[in-house]
Amino acid sequence: MQNSYRPMENFPLQGDAGDGTVVVSMPEHPKDYIVWSLSTLYFGNPFCLGLLAFYFSVKSRDRKMVGDLSGAKSYGSTACCINGWALALIILFIIIAIIIVAVTVPAIVDHIKSEPSYGKYPYGV
């Protein structure tokens, strides 16, 4: 099994050659977007996309722990894409709900005010 880590490279800092200070470049770990996936799962979860994004985030984290950084990057990218679509759908649903409430509430109020018994007490008080 090959290790997918890049070999570490040593870069001497600028200065005298005799300083002996070396900077070691570390491989960048791919993101797994697990917090975003949990937020999508908890707060929105349209069409179970939050659950799917959480699945790919966990797979990405597992691949990262094993050392497969290319697989972790692939799963993380998929989780990010699914979270983006879920966020877009959540925002769209909220906008549609606001429009529906803004249109129907005034219509209901006008209908109630046009009733012949509006403003009269039902028991003649």
Domain that residue 87 falls in:
27-112
User: What's the predicted TM-score (pTM) here?
Assistant: 0.69
Does residue 54 fall inside a structural domain? Answer: yes
Q: DSSP string of 44-86?
A: T-GGGHHHHHHHHHHHHHHHHHHT-HHHHHHHHHHHHHHHHHH
Would you state the pLDDT for residue 47? 94
Would you state the pLDDT for residue 26? 72
Q: How many domains does the chain have?
A: 1
Does residue 124 fall inside a structural domain? Answer: no
Reading the chain (125 residues) residue by residue, the pLDDT tens digits are 555 555 666 555 565 555 566 677 777 889 999 999 999 999 989 999 999 999 999 999 999 999 999 999 999 999 999 999 999 999 999 999 999 999 999 999 888 888 777 666 666 55
